[in-house]
Amino acid sequence: MSRLRIAIDGPSGAGKSTLGRALAQRLGLPYVDTGAMYRAVGWAVAEAGLDDAEQIVAYVQGLELDVDPDPAGFHVRVDGVDVTDRLRHPDIGRMAAKVAAIEGVRDWMVPRQQAVARAGGVLEGRDIGTVVLPDADCKFYLTSDELTRMARRAEQLGLEEMGAEVVGDVLERDRVDSRRKHSPLRPAADALHIDTSAQTVDESLAVMLEEIARRG
Ligand code: DC
């Protein structure tokens, strides 16, 4: 069981992190938030003040990225500095979408994510079932309606109300993620689609556990 590899993909606010963590905890597997890895790189690129894609790729290739794949407390370190608490700001989200669209950054990132998954794990992101773990034991593609996704994202950011800026920001980022040339957000052909809009966490989790059991 400990070598099971599970892929969870979908747009922002579809429930990937909550369900990914819960699933990993339930199955005793490592949990990897690959979005946080792109955010960490986005943060480092912003700190370095870089904008040009070629310069960004060269800079990123010199970074050391470490993760602590613990479902009870996932952490990311860049060059030994734990940046986990600095990654949720919308500016970092924009930077993450920008660096994630660069082919050279993805070419550098994907093997690192595959290495973390070697011992098994629940990986969540946008290209896990299609690119990072095309041979995952089980793949899920989570969706939910726009309003639900925005409300969840706002809650995650600790906002009382959803500001127009946050709504526009998340929708724009999903557009960038879906339309980019390299590894766009797309369901794998063999992924189980789950619309989490009207489901509780436990209900979605039950569907996922059932599918994992069914796929053996
Ligand atoms: O899931 P998130 O919002 O933390 O992701 C941050 C950004 O990284 C988002 O624009 C999508 C991108 N991303 C990606 O391109 N591939 C992944 N596997 C995970 C995230």
Query: Is the Cβ atom of 127 under 6 angstroms away from ligand 1?
Result: yes
173 in contact with ligand 1, CB cutoff 6 A: yes
Q: What is the residue-averaged pLDDT of the chain? A: 92
- Buried b or exposed e, range 147-175, using 16+ CB within 10 angstroms: ebbbbbbbeebeeeebeeebbebbeebbe
Q: Among 16, 18, 21, 34, which is best to mutate for testing ligand 1, by the most ligand atoms less than 8 A from CB?
A: 34
Mark residue 29 as left, alpha or beta (left: phi above 0; alpha: psi -120 to 50; beta: remaining).
beta
The string of pLDDT tens digits covering residues 39-52 is 999 999 999 999 99
Per the structure block, which two tokens stand in for 76? 């990311």
How many other β-carbons are positioned within 10 Å of the β-carbon of residue 28?
A: 11
Tell me what percent of the residues of the chain surpass a pLDDT of 70: 94
For residue 123, the ligand 1 atom closest to its alpha carbon is: 18
Run of H or E residues at 85: none
Does 38 sit in the ligand 1 pocket, CB within 6 Å? yes
β partners of residue 7: 123, 139
Higher pLDDT, 108 or 180: 108
Domains of the chain: which residue ranges?
Answer: 5-207
CATH superfamily of 5-207: P-loop containing nucleotide triphosphate hydrolases (3.40.50.300)
pLDDT tens digit sequence for 85-111: 999 888 898 899 999 999 999 999 999
| pLDDT(161) > 80 | no
Confidence of residue 1 (pLDDT cuts 50, 70, 90): very low
Mean per-residue pLDDT for 7-34? 95
- 198 phi, psi to nearest 5 deg: -105, 15
